[in-house]
Amino acid sequence: MSYLEWAESQLAEIELLTSMFPTVEELEFTDQLALAELRDYVEGSASTGGPPPSRPQFLIKQKLDSANTEGTVFILSCAYPSEYPSVLPEITVRCSGLSRAQQTQLQALLNAYLMGNCQGEICVLSAVEWVKDNLQLFIDKSLLEAPGPKKESASPRMPEVFSRLWIYSHHIYNKSKRKNILDWSKELGLSGFSMPGKPGIVCVEGPQSACEDFWSRVKVLTWKKIMIRHREDISLDCQSEDSRLVEHIDSLRKFTGFEEAMFDPHGNRGNHMDLGQLYQFLNEKGCCEVFQMYFGIEGR
């Protein structure tokens, strides 16, 4: 498919969602300019060029209406990559009625559902319906399994998930943002690296809840463009003791600690990195395949 065909599919889905969720309380576009640029690209003379630089991002807010849920609200945060629907959109679910562990598990299951059932197709509405069905089950299960005070320590542990997020930004120049990325990754116990310049790359890895926390902080900063380009989620043995679980997480890490990595900065402003050196760095860490995901070319 071409960029124009991808954009046409995106606009068609947005129009479908707008008809199904007509009020701002149900569907909120967080970047109206990006929506206007997408529409102009599809309908206007600009359709012969590349895709718009900004990507549509929106929130879908829904209430569950069963007696047990008492108006529980969930929010689906959605962002379109340029190549959607050939690649999956970035979809994050939030619900105040769930514990942090339950929310982490629900997100992992949603990601698995999308990867297994929605490749190559528009899927936001399917994600909404999946969350409605499964969130109801989560809440019902919580009510049924809610232990008394004496039994609380015997309740089963929620599954843990190890995640690795590969984040792409149009650029990372701002010193304050660069400091936030370093500080937040260390605060949350994440390993990985950030590469400032144009483009900007950030990789964080560790417990999924910490990775999601990091992403929720980073994405609300002011960016020309930022997205999760690729993610890896690995379920862990929830029966392991805490010490064994930490060892398991550490064994999956490809990076030791978190660093800001520079690769022979050059250009008039010193804001371009040597991509050959970046490829060698990724190759040494055992993750050179993401180079093609970022740049669309084989590294060497």
Report the CATH number at residue 30.
3.10.110.10
pLDDT of residue 142: 60
Same domain, 137 and 252: no
Same domain, 114 and 169: no
Give the tens place of pLDDT for each residue, 270-296.
678 888 899 999 999 998 888 888 877
Same domain, 250 and 137: no
Q: Of 142, 174, 209, which residue sits at a domain end?
A: 142
Same domain, 42 and 85: yes
117 occurs within a structural domain: yes
Residue 244 predicted with pLDDT over 90: no
How many structural domains is the chain composed of?
A: 2
Question: How would residue 242 be classed by pLDDT, with cut points 50, 70 and 90?
Answer: low
239 occurs within a structural domain: yes
Same domain, 27 and 108: yes
pLDDT of residue 166: 94
153 occurs within a structural domain: no
Same domain, 7 and 125: yes
Contacts of 168 (CB under 8 A, 6+ apart): 199, 200, 201, 225, 226, 227, 228, 229, 294
Same domain, 194 and 255: yes
Percentage of the chain beyond pLDDT 70 is 85
Beta bridge partners of 235: 161
Q: Which range (72-81, 236-245, 285-294) has the least confidence?
A: 236-245
3-state SS of the chain is CCHHHHHHHHHHHHHHHHHHCCCCCCEEECCHHHHHHHHHHHHCHHHHCCCCCCCCEEEEEEECCCCCCCCCEEEEEEECCCCCCCCCCEEEEEECCCCHHHHHHHHHHHHHHHHHHCCCCCCHHHHHHHHHHHHHHHHHHHHHHCCCCCCHHHCCCCCCEEEEEEEEECCECCHHHHHHHHHHHHHCCCEEEEECECCEEEEEEEEHHHHHHHHHHHCCCCCCCEEEEEEEEEECCCCCCHHHHHHHHHHHCCCCCEEECCCCCECCCCCECCHHHHHHHHHHCCCCHHHHHHHCCCCC
Give the tens place of pLDDT for each residue, 149-169.
444 444 444 558 899 999 999
Query: Torsion-angle region of residue 115: left (phi > 0), alpha (psi -120 to 50) or beta?
Result: alpha
Same domain, 133 and 171: no
152 occurs within a structural domain: no
Question: How would residue 8 be classed by pLDDT, with cut points 50, 70 and 90?
Answer: very high
Same domain, 102 and 233: no
Average pLDDT of the residues in 222-242: 79
Structural domain range at position 127: 1-142
59 occurs within a structural domain: yes
Report the CATH number at residue 190.
3.30.70.100
Question: How would residue 214 be classed by pLDDT, with cut points 50, 70 and 90?
Answer: very high
198/242: higher pLDDT: 198
As a whole number, the mean pLDDT across the chain is: 83
Same domain, 134 and 209: no
Give the tens place of pLDDT for each residue, 38-63.
988 998 755 556 788 888 889 999 88
> How many residues does the structure list for the chain?
300
Percentage of the chain beyond pLDDT 90 is 31
300 occurs within a structural domain: no
Taking the whole predicted model, whether its pTM rises above 0.75 is answered as no
166 occurs within a structural domain: yes
Query: Torsion-angle region of residue 153: left (phi > 0), alpha (psi -120 to 50) or beta?
Result: alpha
Same domain, 103 and 50: yes
pLDDT of residue 66: 64
pLDDT of residue 69: 61
188 occurs within a structural domain: yes
Residue 238 predicted with pLDDT over 60: no
Same domain, 179 and 253: yes
